Amino acid sequence: MTEQQRVLDILVEAVDTLTDDFDLIEFLHRLSLRCVELLDVDAVGVMIVDPHGELQLIAASDEKTRLLELFALQHDQGPCVRCYHSGQAQLNISLTSTVATAGFGPFAARARTAGFTVTHALPMKLRHQVIGAVNLFGSRLHRLSDSDVQIGQAIADVATIAILQQRTLDRVYVEKAQLHAALTSRVVIEQAKGILSERHGLNLDDTFDAMRAHVRPRHLRLTEFAQQVIDNTYDGDFGQPSSP
């Protein structure tokens, strides 16, 4: 698939946010994977602000990135946090440079431990409204090209428009209920991921991929399946193909 086709697919996915069964977490997870495919990066994390004005992690391309982004939030530091507060892109930050990482040394050390040497953050904003940021990580020192920056920002803009579109459809419900539900759903999904990981002897990344593969042909939401796992009420065929 060409780069142009992948970008077009992202735009088509954004149009799907108009449907009734739009799944915000799944949409943002797909976008994070698209960034890894399209840009010269190894991992992606997406943070958005909740109805209380607190920055929250909503999607990550893999488990180690999820944990790194949670560390950034807990310590209120890192390019993604800085990007959200400033509304400005943070590009080509060498995690091995004390000058470049001034102000978030512990985060930089944690990122290096995770195998990353460079990071970038792109704002999720429309005009002057900033609702989050997209964090990009690389395992080798490599500057993003102007083209990659444009594509990355376009993806961040698509995610922003998708979220704001949902808020516009029903501002009170989406801002105070759906987004809160999405963040709550993430907790449920993480709990189920841990249960299935231990039960089936899979690492957390493979478990999440298997969960997504399980729900897709069965037309289930990730949160619905995760709650079944927690309640021990799912049919027990996890990891097996659905019936034709």
For the domain made up of 3-169, give the CATH fold.
Beta-Lactamase (3.30.450)
What is the pLDDT at residue 50? Answer: 85
DSSP letter string, 81-99? HHHHHH-S-EEEEETT-TT
Q: CA-to-CA distance for 110 and 67, rounded, in angstroms?
A: 10
> Quick check: do 3-169 and 171-244 share a fold?
no
- The domains of the chain are located at 3-169, 171-244
CATH 1.10.10.10 fits 171-244, yes or no: yes
The tens digit of pLDDT for each residue in 59-116 reads 999 999 999 999 999 999 899 999 999 999 999 999 988 888 888 879 999 999 999 9
Residues above pLDDT 90, as percent of the chain = 44
DSSP-H helix ranges across the chain: 3-15, 24-38, 63-75, 79-86, 105-113, 146-169, 171-173, 179-200, 204-218, 222-231
pLDDT per residue over 151-203, tens digit each? 889 889 888 887 887 666 655 554 566 667 777 888 999 999 999 999 999 99
Looking at residue 95, what is its pLDDT? 92
pLDDT of residue 10: 67
